[in-house]
């Protein structure tokens, strides 16, 4: 009997080659866009490790899934080294797919529209409290309910910040979410079939698509969506800050301190000489002041 592949062998065969292929076709930016793209990826990878590690460790300890004998070589906090590698691999797959698809991070008027932001927050909160309710309902909802409660706060926060932008330009982040997820669904099903890891029947709903538990499908889609949203919002926020920094400061309390009007943009207004009072006549050059009521032209030399 052939033993199940190890977790690291799984990465060498399925995830790392896909990552290298996407990296090869990813556009090469220059200057500021390149620096911001690299910074966004680094920030999202760091967040993925910080936010995902406690949840994954809890699920493994509860027995939501486990690994074949010999499939795990190194563990830390109950989490296999291959699982830690997956955090970075999926984030990078989403990032490279997103940049290959292309997106415009420019801020536009209306991106702070309250309606999509409020709707996104409500969906995130519904996922959080709905997931907690499912976990309390029955142990078969542990994986699904815990997953919804894990993703809910992040989605609520992301949509609270940039829901208007996410609703205005959904194609890039949706494509960057589901294209890598579709590939990961496929290779995850292969790994389950080979026995590298197994999903608990007691802590899941038992519903599956082509042998892949729906919990696994929701996980890869949810994790990809959080990464895609985070990547586009990172650059969008920086663009908003750039535009805000270039706007002149509003100084309503100081009407004198205003931007100068360019020369030629306004027609000059001719000055009007004030009318002289009736009865006053200026003296002729080198002449004496005329007496009141006497015509100067009639004055003898």
Question: Which residue shows structure tokens 């799984």?
Answer: 10
Query: Residue ranges of the chain with pLDDT lower than 50?
Result: 1, 250-272, 275-301
pTM of the model: 0.79
pLDDT at position 73? 85
Distances 116 to 6, 213, 229, 238 between C-alpha atoms, Å: 44, 31, 14, 20
What local confidence, expressed as pLDDT, does residue 284 receive?
40
Query: How many Å apart are CA 27 and CA 103, to the nearest integer?
Result: 12
Any idea which residue has 């997103």 for tokens? 98
Summarize pLDDT for 120-153 with one digit per residue, the tens.
999 999 999 999 999 999 999 999 999 999 999 9
Q: Which pLDDT value is given to residue 243?
A: 87
Task: Give yes or no for a contact between 196 and 10, defined as CB atoms under 8 angstroms apart.
Answer: yes
Number of H helices and E strands in the chain, helices first, is 8, 6
Domain ranges of the chain: 7-245
Question: Within 13 Å and on the Cβ side, how many CA atoms surround 37?
Answer: 21
Q: Are 193 and 153 in contact (CB under 8 A)?
A: no
Please report the pLDDT score of residue 5 as a whole number: 86
Calpha distance 221→183 (Å, rounded):
11
pLDDT score at 247? 66
Q: What is the pLDDT of residue 77?
A: 85
């Amino acid at each position: 009997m052939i033993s199940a592949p190890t977790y690291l062998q799984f990465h060498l065969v399925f995830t790392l080659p896909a990552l290298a292929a996407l990296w090869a076709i990813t556009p090469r930016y220059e200057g500021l866009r390149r620096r911001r793209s690299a910074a966004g990826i680094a920030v999202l990878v760091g967040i993925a490790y910080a936010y995902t590690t406690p949840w994954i460790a809890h699920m493994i300890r509860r027995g939501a899934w486990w690994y074949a004998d010999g499939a795990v070589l190194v563990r830390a906090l109950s989490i296999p080294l291959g699982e830690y590698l997956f955090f970075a691999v999926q984030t990078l797959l989403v990032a490279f797919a997103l940049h290959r698809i292309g997106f415009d991070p420019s801020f536009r008027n209306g991106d702070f529209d309250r309606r999509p932001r409020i709707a996104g927050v409500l969906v995130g909160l519904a996922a959080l409290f709905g997931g907690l309710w499912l976990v309390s309902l029955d142990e078969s909802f542990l994986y699904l309910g815990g997953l919804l409660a894990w993703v809910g706060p992040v989605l609520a926060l992301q949509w609270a910040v940039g829901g208007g932008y996410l609703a205005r330009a959904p194609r890039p982040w949706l494509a960057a979410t589901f294209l890598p997820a579709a590939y990961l669904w496929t290779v995850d099903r292969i790994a389950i079939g080979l026995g590298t890891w197994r999903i608990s029947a007691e802590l899941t709903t038992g519903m599956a698509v082509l042998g892949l538990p729906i919990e696994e499908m929701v996980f890869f889609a949810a994790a990809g969506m959080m990464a895609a949203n985070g990547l586009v919002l990172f650059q969008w926020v920086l663009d908003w800050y750039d535009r805000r920094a270039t706007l002149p400061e509003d100084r309503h309390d100081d009407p004198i301190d205003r931007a100068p009007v360019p020369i030629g943009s306004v027609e000059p207004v001719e000055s009007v000489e004030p009318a002289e009072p009736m009865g006053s006549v200026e003296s002729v050059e080198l002449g004496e002041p005329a007496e009141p009521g006497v015509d100067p032209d009639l004055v003898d030399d």
